[in-house]
Amino acid sequence: MPSREAIPLHRRRQAALIDHLAPPARNVDPNKGTATLLLLGSGIRNDTCGHCHRDWFHYDSGELYLQVPPADECRKDTDGPCSNCDSDADKPWYPKTPAGGGRMIHIGNHYYDYSTGQKRYMGLRDRVEQFFGIAPPGEQAVGGYPMFQANNCDGAGRGTITRWVRSMCTAAGISKQERANRLRKSLTPNMKENEDGKKVVDKTVAEMIADNGTDSQGRPIPDVFAHDLRATYCTQLCRCDNPNYTEIKRKTGHKHEETLYTYVGYASDEIDPKEDAELF
């Protein structure tokens, strides 16, 4: 389990990650790149991504959507349902919450880059269509995989997907130090009640920030896990001046509007040195 709450990527680091993943990005592993971009561009959870099947994608009036089912069989390449699923159930995979199932999430090719104030290409639809081998009605789909592939098997575990996300963030040049600064700014210590009934610090912010070392090329690995990308997606939807919480809840699967207020806070708390320099 993660040792801290999910904290979104700053808008500039979000843009850097998308720039790295957008087709025709070179030397990006198809599984790692597509899974990371899908997490970032759809807000689905880690376990949902690991169970994601090409059957979940549908076209409507020429647009591509991901429909997260309220329940589905576990189709991971194992002897039975994976360790996260109920082997006694007829349909053993369920979203984390009932509100998380059945929703339709648009899978587009563009996003609004709040770091530049421009609509930019991210290529999520292009990546999804190519990886899963799907195409609009009347067009020919080519190749593709039914699910993300871990060790050449259908489906991927939570730990695998988090490692993929970290490797993509590292390759995108996301600074370990800048990421740590963001976490220090956003996190608060974990508190617990001691034997005297007093609140004491159980874990400091410094203890929450993981040191993931370096990758095989010696690049420092920033503290990012898959749920941080869901938080980034939610924050992106809340970066506009007047967020439509009803519509946002339909996309994110949150039950209560109040839950989204946290992401508004993250969005409004992002520092832009250039804007600050010209403010006074």
Taking residues 22-40, report their average pLDDT: 93
Q: What is the pTM of this model?
A: 0.89
CB within 8 A of 153, min separation 6: which ones?
A: 76, 77, 78
pLDDT, tens digit, for every residue of 234-254? 899 888 877 777 777 777 777
pLDDT, tens digit, for every residue of 166-197? 999 999 999 999 999 999 999 999 988 888 88
Whole-number Cα distances in Å, 261 to 117, 119, 158, 231, 256? 23, 24, 27, 12, 10
Q: What is the per-residue pLDDT for 25?
A: 75
Q: Supply the angle between the helices 11-21 and 226-237 in degrees, to the nearest 10.
A: 110
The answer on pLDDT for 1 being more than 60 is: no
| Token representation of residue 125 | 């639809």
| Chain position carrying tokens 């809840």 | 249
Taking the C-alpha atoms of residue 50 and residue 67, their distance in angstroms, rounded to an integer, is 15
Q: What is the per-residue pLDDT for 100?
A: 67
CB within 8 A of 71, min separation 6: which ones?
A: 91, 93, 94, 101
**b/e sequence 210-222, b meaning 16+ C-beta within 10 Å:** bebeeeeeeebbb
Q: What is the per-residue pLDDT for 173?
A: 97
Taking the C-alpha atoms of residue 57 and residue 44, their distance in angstroms, rounded to an integer, is 13
**SS3 at position 206:** helix
Taking the C-alpha atoms of residue 192 and residue 190, their distance in angstroms, rounded to an integer, is 7
Banded pLDDT at 211 (limits 50, 70, 90): very high
Taking the C-alpha atoms of residue 243 and residue 222, their distance in angstroms, rounded to an integer, is 30
Query: Average pLDDT over the chain, rounded to whole?
Result: 89
Q: What is the per-residue pLDDT for 243?
A: 77
Spell out the domains of the chain, with CATH numbers in brackets. Answer: 11-279 (1.10.443.10)
DSSP 120: E
